[in-house]
Amino acid sequence: MANPKQEPTLDSADLLTEISVAYYQDGATQEEISKKFSISRAKVGRLLKQARDEGIVEITVKYHPVFSAKIEQRLIERFGVKRALVALDQPNEEAQRQQVAGLVSHYLAATIKSGDVVTVGQGRNVSAVAHHIGVITPRDCKFVCSIGGIHPRGGMFNADHICRQFAKNYGGTSETLYAPAYAENREQKLAFMQNTTIKQTLDSARKADVALVGIGDMSENSYMVDLGWFTADEVVQSRLQQGVVGDFAGYDFFDIHGNAANTVMSDRVIGLGIDEFKPISQVIAIAAENSKPLALLGALRTGAIDVIATSVSNALTVLNLDEQMK
C-alpha cells in the first residue's frame, strides 16, 4: 500500500497548472495547497517556481503612475531635459506606440499656442501622435515639414501627411517641403537644397517654436531599409564601422555618445540636421519601441532634446546603460 504522505514524484503540467491557478488566481495560501494536494509546503514553493520557469505562469508588474513620475524626474536630472513623458509598458509594440502617442498628444494640446510654428518629422511614432483621437481646442498654428517626402508606401508616415493631419486637428495650416526625403546621391541632394522653394520651407522649419521628431534605431530590418532608402548593408556598415546607434528625425546619424556620424546616408537626406534643431526652444523626441534604448541614449546625449517621450522599460534601460558607461 502506498504511503499517503509520500509526495508525488511526477510534476506534470496539469499539476503545475492546478497549483498555479489555486495560488495566483484563487488566492489560496501555500499551506492550504499543501494540505489539498498532500505535499509539503516546501514542495509547493518549488512547484510554483517551476511553473514560472516553464512559462506556465507569467508575472507582469503593472507600474503605478507615481512610479512613472519618479522615472521622469530621474531622466530630467540625468540628461537635462525639460520634461520626460513616460508611458506605462504595454503588451505589444502597437499598443505601446499608442500609449506614448497619447501622452505626447495631450502635452502638445496643452502647450501649443495660437501663432506657434511646429516643425514635424516623419515615421510611425510621429504619425501616431497626429492620428491620436483626443479633444483639441482649435488654434491658429502652422505645421511645417522638417524633412522631404517619402515613397507612397509610407504615406501615413510621410511628414507632409502628418503635417496635414495636425493642421486638421488644430484648425491650423500646413506647409509641405517639396523635395524627396532621400536623394540618390550627394550631388542630387545639394541641387535640391539650392532650390528657392525648398530653402524657404526649411528656413520656416528652422524658426519653429516646437519640433516633433522620431528617434530611429539602426537595424537592417528598419523602416528605412524596408522602404528602400538605404540598403541593409549601408545600415550594417554604419553600425559596425562608425558605431552609429540611431538617427535623429530621419536625418543625422549619431553614436552612443551623441556625436554626429558622417555616413553615406547623411549625405543624401533633405531636411533639418541635429544642429539646426538645437536653437528650437522645444524639441520633442519620441522612441516608443523596446528596440530603441541605445538609440534613445545616444539621442539624449546630443543635447538637442528638450522633451523625451518613451516607455517605462526603455527609460529604465537608458538610465542603467548611462550609469554603467560612467
Q: Tell me the per-residue pLDDT of 294-313, one tens digit each, with 9 for 90 and over.
A: 999 999 999 999 999 999 99
DSSP, collapsed to helix, strand or coil, labels residue 119 as: strand
Residues 6+ apart with CB under 8 A from 25: none
Do residues 223 and 163 both lie within one domain?
yes
Do residues 319 and 242 both lie within one domain?
yes
Residue burial 50-68, b: 16+ Cβ < 10 Å; e: rest:
bbeeeebbeeeeebeeeeb
Distance of CA 166 to the CA centre of its chain: 20
Residues 6+ apart with CB under 8 A from 91: none
For residue 25, tell me if it sits in a domain. Answer: yes
In this predicted structure, the answer to whether residue 6 has a pLDDT above a threshold of 60 is: no
Q: Which of 34-43, 56-65, 92-101, 308-317 has the lowest mean pLDDT?
A: 56-65
- Residue appearing with cell numbers 555616413: 263
143 vs 29: CA distance, rounded Å: 59
Query: Residue 171: pLDDT band by 50, 70, 90 thresholds?
Result: very high
For residue 157, tell me if it sits in a domain. Answer: yes
φ, ψ at 230 (rounded to 5°): -130, 155
For residue 170, tell me if it sits in a domain. Answer: yes
For residue 207, tell me if it sits in a domain. Answer: yes
Torsion over CA of 71, 76, 81 and 85, rounded to 10 degrees? 30
For residue 236, tell me if it sits in a domain. Answer: yes
DSSP, collapsed to helix, strand or coil, labels residue 134 as: coil
Per this entry, what is the length of the chain?
A: 326
For residue 310, tell me if it sits in a domain. Answer: yes
Do residues 26 and 95 both lie within one domain?
no
In this predicted structure, the answer to whether residue 57 has a pLDDT above a threshold of 90 is: no
Do residues 19 and 135 both lie within one domain?
no
Do residues 28 and 81 both lie within one domain?
no
- Between β-strands 173-175 and 282-287, what pairing exists: parallel, antiparallel or unpaired? unpaired
The average pLDDT across 12-36 equals 86
Q: Any idea what the CATH number is for the domain that residue 18 is in? A: 1.10.10
Q: Which of 44-48, 206-210, 235-239 has the lowest mean pLDDT?
A: 235-239
Q: Count of CB atoms within 10 A of residue 15's CB?
A: 16
For residue 149, tell me if it sits in a domain. Answer: yes
Do residues 22 and 153 both lie within one domain?
no
252 DSSP assignment = E
pTM: 0.77
The predicted pLDDT at position 77 comes to 95
Q: What is the pLDDT of residues 69-91, one digit of tens each?
A: 889 999 999 999 999 999 988 88
- Residue 109 has which C-alpha cell? 494640446
Q: Which of 21-35, 53-67, 252-266 has the lowest mean pLDDT?
A: 53-67
Q: Any idea what the CATH number is for the domain that residue 111 is in? A: 3.40.50.1360
Do residues 183 and 236 both lie within one domain?
yes
φ, ψ at 308 (rounded to 5°): -110, 140
Look up the domain containing 94 and give its range.
65-324
Do residues 20 and 111 both lie within one domain?
no
Q: Which of 147-161, 239-253, 262-276 has the lowest mean pLDDT?
A: 239-253
Residues 6+ apart with CB under 8 A from 123: 157, 214, 216, 223, 250
Q: Residue 135 burial (CB < 10 Å; 0-12/13-18/19+)? A: exposed
Do residues 182 and 33 both lie within one domain?
no
Residue burial 106-134, b: 16+ Cβ < 10 Å; e: rest:
bbbbeebeeebbbbbbbbbbbbbbbbbee
The predicted pLDDT at position 58 comes to 74
- Residue 73 has which C-alpha cell? 524626474
Query: Residue 125: pLDDT band by 50, 70, 90 thresholds?
Result: very high
For residue 135, tell me if it sits in a domain. Answer: yes
Do residues 70 and 90 both lie within one domain?
yes
Do residues 122 and 23 both lie within one domain?
no
- Between β-strands 282-287 and 210-217, what pairing exists: parallel, antiparallel or unpaired? parallel
Q: Which of 112-121, 172-181, 198-207, 252-261 has the lowest mean pLDDT?
A: 252-261
Q: Which of 129-143, 188-202, 232-246, 249-263 has the lowest mean pLDDT?
A: 232-246
Number of domains in the chain: 2
User: Between the ranges 58-62, 88-92, 103-107, 240-244, where is the mean pLDDT highest?
Assistant: 103-107
The answer to whether the Cα torsion of 179, 181, 184, 187 is positive or negative is positive
In this predicted structure, the answer to whether residue 5 has a pLDDT above a threshold of 60 is: no
Do residues 213 and 128 both lie within one domain?
yes
